[in-house]
Amino acid sequence: MIYMDNAATTKPCEKAFEKARKFVTEQFYNPSALYEEGYALQSELKKARSALLSKVADETAFELVFTSCGTESDNQAIFSFARRGNAVTTAGEHSAVSAPFIELKNRGVIESRIAPLQKDGRVDIAKLLSLVDQKTSFVSVMHVNNEMGAINDINEIARLVKQKNPRVIFHSDGVQAYGKLPFRLSRDIDLYSVSAHKLGGLKGVGALVKRKSLNLPPYILGGGQETGKRSGTENVFGIKQFEYAAEEKFRHLVEDGKRLEGYREKLCSLLDTEVYTRLSPVDGTPYILTLSAKGLRGEILLHMAHDKGLLIGTGSACSSNAKTRYNRIVLACGYDEKTADGTLRLSFSTDTTEKEIEEAAAILNEIGRDLKRRMA
Ligand code: PLP
């Protein structure tokens, strides 16, 4: 089986898993317990917090709050800070951002403003800025688009937004960027969401990086864990495994990126251009290649690929329950319904091999030509 749906989730890092195992089998205590065994886990959580945070931010200016997933981090940021006037986001956001925006709009809490995308999947910065005014309380722009692979220059966008209105709280969904792009948060970014399972961690572990000076109203109340910012007994094993998996990823981040960029380009060059058109930009993340088999149905190709041992996506796995047939992000980039219907997303991990790339291209060509023939 060739697995190329790593933007949906990646295989957990086994080395990290083994290293963290003792937090299930031996040190399984509640970190809030008052005896030594429990209390000792607080320093393990502190180490994990610091290791994960220092990879992308200055620890004197930022802190990290553990959450249950990227979705919770996004929701926490939005429900905590998009509380008055208008809030601005982009048409490319994952539903973990777009759905809370719709909810707050429906509740009458905010006026929701959506900036359009360019053809390559990046937000149109000039149009985004035109939506920001003195009544804007919150802006959220994703770092790497999970459907198109496009990279938004969030440090620059945050700088321009703050230039227009310095009171704006700026959030970015960094779920597809963390551990995959060389990047550090600038002083203009206030909140940044990450998720463990996109880089070899476990599902159900995430974090919200926040500027220390920002007072975060808690979204989940209870026992006061995470210094009152997010209650609930910490998933010590999941957090430690996340820490160790991230150590592995960040150590080889640049080399991995270059290798995967080469693979992505090779795969693209092997594809039959009579069937496939590339949608994702050349300067996007090396981890995602989005294609369209225009005139064919992506979902059918997905199943045909599966039968041949290749696992791919047609876009966000989280959108698979959506009522609309067409990939909304591809439509938002200005493509027509036929192109959107033929969308396929191939996403790689550091485990992806060149041989798999060649085999994947051969499978895609075979099934694409086959379906095209049958549709003719
Ligand atoms: N944001 C983006 C860009 C994503 O790709 C995903 C997952 O696909 C999420 C948020 C949600 O993360 P999680 O699955 O950890 O809730």
Q: Is the CB of 199 under 6 A from ligand 1?
A: no
Q: Is the CB of 160 under 6 A from ligand 1?
A: no
Q: Is the CB of 318 under 6 A from ligand 1?
A: yes
Which atom of ligand 1 is found nearest the CA of 196?
15
CATH 3.40.1350.10 given to domain 14-250: no
Q: Is the CB of 145 under 6 A from ligand 1?
A: no
Mutation test of ligand 1: which of 98, 123, 146 has the most ligand atoms closer than 8 Å to its C-beta?
146
Please tell me the distance between residue 271's alpha carbon and the centre of ligand 1 in angstroms: 28
C-alpha to C-alpha distance for 226 and 55, rounded to whole angstroms: 20
* DSSP type of residue 197: G
Computed over every residue of the chain, the mean pLDDT equals 96
Please tell me the distance between residue 173's alpha carbon and the centre of ligand 1 in angstroms: 8
137 SS3 class: strand
Q: Which residues touch 297 (CB under 8 Å, ≥6 apart)?
A: 341, 342
Residue 225 pLDDT class (50, 70, 90 cuts):
very high
Name the residue among 312, 200, 276 with its Cα closest to residue 245.
Answer: 200
Mutation test of ligand 1: which of 141, 154, 176 has the most ligand atoms closer than 8 Å to its C-beta?
176
Query: Taking the domain 2-10+252-375, which CATH number applies?
Result: 3.90.1150.10
Q: Exposure of 279 by Cβ count < 10 A (0-12 exposed, 13-18 middle, 19+ buried)?
A: buried
Minimal-distance CA residue to ligand 1 atom 4? 175
pLDDT beyond 80 at 70: yes
The residue whose two tokens read 């290798």 is 259
pLDDT at 319: 54
pLDDT at 37: 94
DSSP state letters, 200-251: TS-TT-EEEEEETTS----SS-SS-TGGGTS-S---HHHHHHHHHHHHHHHH
Mean per-residue pLDDT for 51-61? 98
C-alpha to C-alpha distance for 191 and 154, rounded to whole angstroms: 11
Minimal-distance CA residue to ligand 1 atom 5? 146
90 SS3 class: strand
C-alpha to C-alpha distance for 163 and 288, rounded to whole angstroms: 32
Mean per-residue pLDDT for 279-285? 98
pLDDT at 376: 84
pLDDT in tens, 304-361: 999 999 999 996 555 555 557 789 999 999 999 999 999 999 999 999 999 999 999 9
The fraction of the chain above a pLDDT of 70, given in percent, is 97
pLDDT in tens, 195-221: 999 999 999 999 999 999 999 999 899
Q: Which residues touch 271 (CB under 8 Å, ≥6 apart)?
A: 291, 361, 364, 365
Please tell me the distance between residue 304's alpha carbon and the centre of ligand 1 in angstroms: 26
pLDDT at 122: 98
Entry field: residues in the chain: 376
Count CA atoms within 13 Å of residue 78 on its CB side.
31
Residue 113 pLDDT class (50, 70, 90 cuts):
very high
C-alpha to C-alpha distance for 253 and 149, rounded to whole angstroms: 17
Residue ranges of the chain assigned to CATH 3.40.640.10 = 14-250
Q: Is the CB of 316 under 6 A from ligand 1?
A: yes
Looking at 95-201, which runs of residues are DSSP E strands? Answer: 111-115, 136-140, 169-173, 191-195
What percent of the residues of the chain are helix, what percent strand, and what percent coil, each to the nearest 5? 40, 15, 45
Catalytic positions, written as ranges: 318
Please tell me the distance between residue 159's alpha carbon and the centre of ligand 1 in angstroms: 25
Q: Exposure of 220 by Cβ count < 10 A (0-12 exposed, 13-18 middle, 19+ buried)?
A: middle
Least confident of 32-46, 157-171, 321-335: 321-335
pLDDT at 152: 98
Which atom of ligand 1 is found nearest the CA of 144?
3
Mean per-residue pLDDT for 50-75? 98
pLDDT at 297: 96
Which atom of ligand 1 is found nearest the CA of 204?
15
Q: Is the CB of 176 under 6 A from ligand 1?
A: yes
Count CA atoms within 13 Å of residue 9 on its CB side.
14
Q: Is the CB of 69 under 6 A from ligand 1?
A: yes
pLDDT at 375: 87
Q: Is the CB of 345 under 6 A from ligand 1?
A: no
Please tell me the distance between residue 301's alpha carbon and the centre of ligand 1 in angstroms: 24
What token pair was written down for 46? Answer: 């502190």
Residue ranges of the chain assigned to CATH 3.90.1150.10 = 2-10+252-375
What token pair was written down for 55? Answer: 């990879």
Mean per-residue pLDDT for 137-161? 98
Its pTM stands at 0.96
Inter-axis angle of helices 354-375 and 298-307, nearest 10: 120
pLDDT at 125: 98
Q: Is the CB of 113 under 6 A from ligand 1?
A: no
